[in-house]
Structure 1
């Protein structure tokens, strides 16, 4: 399974929504506290591209080192329609300062020196050591995950439903007593280099994880892994 540090790094460097939380700072325009881009520096610091008129930028411009504490809250929402679409959240807390000259006019770059990290996702809740976060790399499929899940959902519906054959005794829970429940649905929920998570809904709703024979490093490896998985389900 991906480590908590890798999962957090994937969320921080991904495209899911994020917002800065700073005590005493509020705004009627929520987008003023939402970075338009995020990046992780070589020492594990998080760089946030913000609107120049953001109250967070004004506060950071007048703050000294270790003076302005902030929390970056990241929310991960499944790119396909499933019950309970929030897949996880991550929180990165630390100290916020400005990075002069690092952004185009109309924007400003803030630097969040990381103090604490925590992730709460489909794998569970875990604190993350800042040094582990610095060393971790994002999942290699993360940049394509949304597109891949949508493709599996729309173009491979029959194969996704055939995965029920790999559930063993758990498959009976989908049909309900007497097998008279609604037709089960199988929706791809999450994808990483280690495997595919599917949300099955019917008389009951639950997730199942299908591990790949070996971790994949790119789209070519993923195609082979998915072919092997679908072949196993078909037989």
Structure 2
């Protein structure tokens, strides 16, 4: 399974929605605290791009002694229609400062020095050390996951449904024929499917070995579907 640090790093560098929470900064529209872009630096700090006149930039500009605390909250929502669509959240807590000169005119880059991290996702709840976060890699499928899950759902729905045959005892009493199988999450280690029907549960289907790119993923999915074929 992916480590908590890898899962957190992947969420931070994904396209999931994010909001920067700053104590004492209230806005009329939540999107005012949504960064236009975010990237993780070489030392694990998180750089956030905002309009130069945004409340976040104003707060960082007027902060004293560079001690403006903030929390970057990231929410991961499944890209396919399924009950309980929120797949996870991550919180990056740290200190915010302005970094002039890194952004185009009219924008400002903010630096969030990481102090604490926490992730609550389909794998469970974990705390992450900043050093582990800085060293962690990003899942190689993160840029393609949305498109791949939607493709599996719309084009290969019957084959995804057929994975129920691999559940063994877990399928007993679940009315396997009446269960609707929805591809929920995908990473280099495997595919997670949510079975929805009289009862709702998730099943994880591991690949024979971790995949490094979409080409290897296609082979892994072919092997998985073959194993479930009657």
- Structure 2-normalised TM-score? 0.97
> Aligned with 1:191: secondary structure?
strand
**RMSD of aligned residue pairs (Cα, Å):** 1.1
Question: d(CA) in 2 for partners of 1:53 and 1:101?
Answer: 15
Q: 1:190 aligns with which of 174, 185, 188?
A: 185
Q: Is the Cα–Cα contact under 8 Å of residues 72 and 93 in structure 1 kept in the other structure?
A: yes
Show structure 2 runs of 5+ residues with no match.
none
What is the CA-CA distance between 1:52 and the residue it aligns to?
1.7
> Aligned with 1:170: secondary structure?
helix
- The question of 1:115 aligning with 2:115 is answered yes
How many residues get paired? Answer: 230
Question: d(CA) in 1 for partners of 2:65 and 2:123?
Answer: 35
> Aligned with 1:216: secondary structure?
coil
What is the CA-CA distance between 1:190 and the residue it aligns to?
0.2
Question: d(CA) in 2 for partners of 1:173 and 1:18?
Answer: 39
What is the CA-CA distance between 1:66 and the residue it aligns to?
4.2
Q: 1:212 aligns with which of 207, 210, 214?
A: 207
| Residue aligning to 1:10 | 10
Over 3 Å off, 4+ runs: none
Matches within 5 A, 1:165-176: 165-175=165-175
Show structure 1 runs of 5+ residues with no match.
none
Question: d(CA) in 2 for partners of 1:105 and 1:28?
Answer: 25
- Structure 1-normalised TM-score? 0.95
Question: d(CA) in 2 for partners of 1:127 and 1:11?
Answer: 14
Question: d(CA) in 2 for partners of 1:207 and 1:89?
Answer: 18
What is the CA-CA distance between 1:106 and the residue it aligns to?
2.4
| Residue aligning to 1:32 | 32
What is the CA-CA distance between 1:65 and the residue it aligns to?
4.5
- The question of 1:229 aligning with 2:224 is answered yes
Question: d(CA) in 2 for partners of 1:105 and 1:151?
Answer: 39
